[in-house]
């Protein structure tokens, strides 16, 4: 709630557009909306100053004007910038435009607009171009919840998610499938992400009984307008999405009377030619698509419009509208190659991809067998494990293995990139299981923020600046059992595996390979992977057989937090043997005690089947790990955390609070 002078910049009242951008100069056009809600005409001075990241003024515009009482007035200003610093993924440089409204020499309103100067385009042949350089969108879709902290916004918790994704090499976020929190966009501006900002998960046709379709006719214009006007100055946003898998893609999807399972069949498998648009037809659904896209382009002429479509046929009613600037597919990898032929001259991105299913720490062998779970939505599915394999060999039937889709994106310039479903696990949609599963298996990172093994596949591909070698799984098995060992690696020609010092052979990736594998007989001891390039060692990793759980290790992600009553420290809790090895099958119940300037905000372990409370002072380990989130209570000093479990040596950690 903002308290304002009657004469002020309107809510979301600035639009900044950069033109004629080069390394030597740029021209910023400012469209500023002013409200005079006083009972008299207002003669005012409008001053806009552009400051760099150090607060130095590098450009200025000033105008005098009179606004009649009770009037909303729009005015234009222009600022020239010499030698602009361009916003990029690697260096997300932010300027600030401070707009002041002055009456009789007195400033009565100040409005700040953070802004990043950059050039970009989506090209039908070369994909995504940022500041003149071809860039792959290596993105993920994200739901809004924050695991054990729930759905309420906490800026530090969002920042932590983005930090973990950035470390993986992720450079893109799709806001699935609703307007995002402003805090997320502000963080993406500062941290360098390519954001797809998405408005609707359904239009007029409903997917479930109580969804947004009930309000669409009355509210879609207001909601779409508010989203675009609110968010259009964020440099991290490069594309608007006006819908996700809306049923208007088809003439009549018949979903209004279907169960969720039956609706999923329609959404992913149940198409027929008579549900598509006819040649030359501009259907009601196509006209609605055009209406929404035209609204966006009027409000923001600087960015393209797309939609997440799971009907890849060019006779999809949304595509037939001609209003989508960028073709967006959800899944349907087998249609990718035909995009240049089916949509000539149109850029293309994968708006949603993969839908791999994984439980951190669980492995189903043989690893070269692929599990399609469930086979179909209308067929009962059950597996006693309530788990999905972390070998990248389990996925939903509409999706693909991570390696499969990555191969398409990597090898085709015309594919601008992808947004993987999903970056983090989230509460809900526990595909392929029902109760008691209560959170997703889709994430590259689990609900607690612990990376699954697939995280390191992407890191090996998306972080050439970092030497990656990730050997998995653990080394606690039944003697004599055949175990599949995988390794993700980069910046090397080969990897050699040793079991208790004995070489198991050297493996190398082919052009379209993303991992190497050995099938070896388990014997307790130590396994070691060594990657080499030109005969020289690049990286090494050892995993030893863990003994019985003996101790607890606590590792805060931040050793110092702010005394603002909001800041968080996420503490990883690990169950170790007496020699310090992680016990990969440990499930000890760990109890926490907190003293000092903080409290427990939540606990988690990444287990999608756990029915333990998120708000508690204890948590069971899941495959050797759990999490406790500490929050400052508004006081300074320190927070002391202790962790105890029956038969184990306690763990302790101290977090400073300033």
pLDDT band at 253 (very low <50, low <70, confident <90, very high): low
What is the mean pLDDT of the segment spanning 394-404?
97
pLDDT band at 260 (very low <50, low <70, confident <90, very high): low
pLDDT band at 516 (very low <50, low <70, confident <90, very high): very high
Residue 130 has what pLDDT? 98
Of 297, 189, 301, 204, which is closest to residue 243 (Cα–Cα)?
A: 204
Q: Is the pLDDT of residue 566 over 60?
A: yes
What is the mean pLDDT of the segment spanning 452-477?
98
| Cis preceding linkage at 171, omega within 30 | no
pLDDT band at 254 (very low <50, low <70, confident <90, very high): low
Residue 23 has what pLDDT? 92
What is the mean pLDDT of the segment spanning 191-219?
96
Distances 484 to 176, 471, 635 between C-alpha atoms, Å: 35, 11, 51
What is the mean pLDDT of the segment spanning 581-606?
98
**CA dihedral angle for residue 404, residue 314, residue 237, residue 460, rounded to 10 degrees:** 10
| Residue whose tokens read 């988690």 | 604
What is the mean pLDDT of the segment spanning 582-608?
98
What is the mean pLDDT of the segment spanning 451-479?
98
pLDDT tens per residue across span 161-183: 999 999 999 999 999 998 999 99
Catalytic residue among 198, 245, 461, 574: 245
Verify whether residue 523 is a known catalytic residue.
no
CB 653 within 8 A of CB 571: yes
Could you tell me which residues come within 8 angstroms of residue 27 by beta carbon, excluding any fewer than 6 positions away?
A: 18, 19, 20, 21, 78, 79, 80, 81
Q: Quick one: three-class SS letters along 403-418?
A: HHHHHHHHHCCCEEEE
What's the whole-number average pLDDT of the chain? Answer: 96
Residue 28 has what pLDDT? 98
Residue 504 has what pLDDT? 98
Q: Over pLDDT 70: what percentage of the chain?
A: 97
φ/ψ of 92, rounded to 5, equals -80, 80
What is the mean pLDDT of the segment spanning 185-212?
96
* CA dist., res. 40 & res. 257, Å (int): 57
Q: Is the pLDDT of residue 255 over 70?
A: no
pLDDT band at 270 (very low <50, low <70, confident <90, very high): low
Residue 309 has what pLDDT? 98
Residue 316 has what pLDDT? 96
Q: Over pLDDT 90: what percentage of the chain?
A: 94
Write the DSSP symbol of residue 644.
E
pLDDT tens per residue across span 139-161: 999 999 999 999 999 999 999 99
Catalytic residue among 311, 352, 496, 574: 352
pLDDT band at 654 (very low <50, low <70, confident <90, very high): very high
pLDDT tens per residue across span 593-603: 999 999 999 99
pLDDT tens per residue across span 612-631: 999 999 999 999 999 999 99
Residue 380 has what pLDDT? 85
Residue 261 has what pLDDT? 56
Residue 377 has what pLDDT? 76
587: helix, strand or coil: coil
* pTM, 2 dp: 0.96
What is the mean pLDDT of the segment spanning 458-478?
98
Verify whether residue 262 is a known catalytic residue.
no
């Amino acid at each position: 709630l903002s308290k304002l002078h009657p004469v002020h910049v309107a809510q979301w009242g600035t639009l900044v557009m950069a033109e004629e951008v080069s390394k030597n100069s740029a021209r910023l056009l400012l469209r500023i909306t002013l409200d005079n809600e006083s009972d008299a005409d207002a003669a005012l001075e409008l001053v806009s100053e552009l400051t760099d990241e150090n607060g130095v003024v590098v450009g200025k515009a000033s105008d005098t004007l009179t606004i009649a009482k009770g009037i909303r007035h729009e005015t234009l200003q222009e600022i020239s910038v010499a030698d602009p610093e361009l916003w990029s993924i690697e260096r997300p440089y932010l300027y600030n435009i401070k707009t002041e409204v002055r009456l009789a020499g007195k400033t009565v309103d100040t409005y700040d607009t953070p802004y990043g100067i950059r050039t970009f385009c989506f090209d039908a042949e070369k994909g995504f171009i940022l500041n003149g350089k071809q860039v792959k969108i290596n993105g993920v879709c994200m739901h809004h919840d924050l695991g054990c902290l729930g759905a309420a916004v906490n800026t530090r918790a969002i920042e932590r998610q983005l930090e973990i994704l950035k470390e993986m090499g992720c450079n893109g976020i799709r806001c699935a499938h609703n307007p995002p929190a402003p805090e997320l966009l502000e963080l993406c501006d500062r941290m360098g992400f390519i954001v797809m900002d998405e408005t609707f998960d359904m239009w007029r046709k409903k997917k479930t009984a109580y969804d947004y379709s009930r309000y669409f006719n009355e509210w879609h214009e207001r909601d779409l307008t508010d989203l675009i006007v609110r968010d259009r100055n964020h440099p991290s946003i490069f594309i608007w999405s006006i819908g996700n898998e809306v049923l208007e893609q088809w003439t009549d999807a018949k979903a209004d009377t279907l169960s969720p399972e039956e609706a999923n069949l329609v959404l992913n498998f149940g198409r027929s030619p008579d549900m598509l648009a006819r040649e030359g037809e501009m259907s009601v659904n196509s006209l609605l698509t055009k209406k929404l896209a035209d609204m966006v382009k009027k409000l923001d002429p600087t960015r393209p419009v797309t939609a997440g479509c799971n009907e890849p046929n060019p006779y999809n009613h949304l595509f037939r509208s001609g209003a989508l600037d960028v073709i967006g597919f959800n899944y349907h990898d087998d249609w990718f190659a035909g995009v240049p032929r089916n949509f000539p001259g149109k850029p293309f991105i994968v708006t949603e991809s993969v839908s791999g299913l994984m439980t951190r720490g669980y492995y189903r062998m043989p690893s070269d067998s692929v599990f399609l779970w469930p086979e179909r939505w209308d067929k009962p599915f059950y597996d006693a494990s309530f788990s999905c394999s972390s070998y990248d060999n389990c996925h939903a039937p509409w999706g693909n293995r991570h390696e499969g889709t990555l191969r398409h994106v990597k090898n085709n310039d015309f594919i601008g990139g992808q947004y993987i479903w999903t970056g983090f696990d989230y509460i809900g949609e526990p595909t392929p299981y029902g109760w008691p599963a209560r959170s997703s298996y889709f994430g590259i990172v689990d609900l607690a923020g612990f990376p699954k093994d697939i995280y390191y596949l992407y890191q090996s591909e998306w972080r050439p600046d970092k030497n990656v070698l990730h050997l998995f799984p653990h080394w606690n098995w039944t003697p004599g059992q055949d175990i599949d060992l995988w390794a993700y690696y980069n910046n090397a020609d080969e990897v050699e595996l040793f079991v208790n010092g004995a070489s198991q052979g050297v493996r190398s990736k082919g052009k379209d390979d993303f991992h190497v594998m050995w099938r070896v007989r388990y014997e307790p001891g130590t396994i070691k992977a060594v990657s080499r390039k030109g005969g020289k060692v690049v990286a090494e990793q050892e995993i030893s057989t863990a003994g019985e759980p003996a101790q607890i290790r606590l590792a805060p992600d931040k050793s110092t937090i702010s005394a603002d009553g909001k800041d968080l420290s996420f503490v990883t809790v690990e169950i170790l043997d007496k020699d310090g090895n992680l016990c990969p099958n440990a499930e000890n119940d760990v109890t926490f005690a907190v003293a000092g300037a903080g409290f427990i905000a939540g606990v988690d372990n990444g287990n999608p089947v756990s029915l333990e409370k998120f708000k508690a002072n204890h948590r069971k380990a899941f495959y050797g790990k759990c999490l406790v989130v500490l929050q400052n209570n508004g006081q300074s000093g320190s927070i002391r955390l202790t962790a105890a479990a029956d038969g184990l040596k306690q763990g302790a950690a101290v977090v400073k609070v300033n």
